[in-house]
């Protein structure tokens, strides 16, 4: 946001100085964002929702537990989205995570196991109640 003052030499110098500081700040912020994006991976996978559970699945995710959300964020997970293919009830999930993210460590978290149990009646699951999932190979990404 720029405030333009009456045109005096002092005000012109001040405004140019302000604009220069803003430009430098923007460059630093953009560089930081690019660096963060470089250190993040984009992951995608499929999961399988039971027929007739579409509304309940969405309801439960709209009421995501704050403890689960904070745990995911603590592991560096961001931009997490889940999409439903309505004809097959296949879910496509995508998120960003740090390059050193280990899904097996997250899977040991008590809140994650509790969420799996909570969701197990509406999804295809493994014996440990984790959702059956299929990792996808990334073949394109536009930054």
Query: Is 61 marked active-site?
Result: yes
The single residue of 30, 59, 61, 132 carrying the catalytic annotation is 61
SS3 72: helix
SS3 40: strand
Helices 66-74 and 110-119: crossing angle in degrees, nearest 10, is: 130
Q: Cα–Cα distance between 67 and 85 in angstroms, integer? A: 28
Q: Cα–Cα distance between 83 and 46 in angstroms, integer? A: 9
Closest among 102, 101, 103, 98 to 40, alpha carbons compared: 98
Catalytic residues: 61
């Amino acid at each position: 946001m720029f405030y333009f003052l009456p045109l005096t030499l002092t005000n012109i110098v001040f405004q140019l100085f302000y604009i220069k500081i803003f430009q430098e700040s923007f460059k630093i912020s953009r560089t930081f964002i690019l660096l963060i994006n470089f250190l993040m991976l984009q992951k995608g996978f499929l999961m399988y929702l039971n027929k007739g559970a579409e509304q309940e699945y969405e309801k439960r995710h709209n009421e995501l537990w704050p403890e689960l959300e904070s745990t995911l964020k603590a592991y560096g997970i961001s931009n997490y989205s889940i999409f439903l293919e309505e004809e097959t009830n296949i879910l496509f999930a995508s998120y960003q995570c740090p390059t050193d993210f280990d899904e097996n460590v997250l899977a040991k978290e008590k809140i994650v196991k509790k969420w799996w149990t909570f969701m197990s009646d509406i999804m295809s699951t493994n014996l440990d109640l984790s959702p059956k999932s299929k990792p996808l190979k990334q073949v394109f990404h536009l930054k």
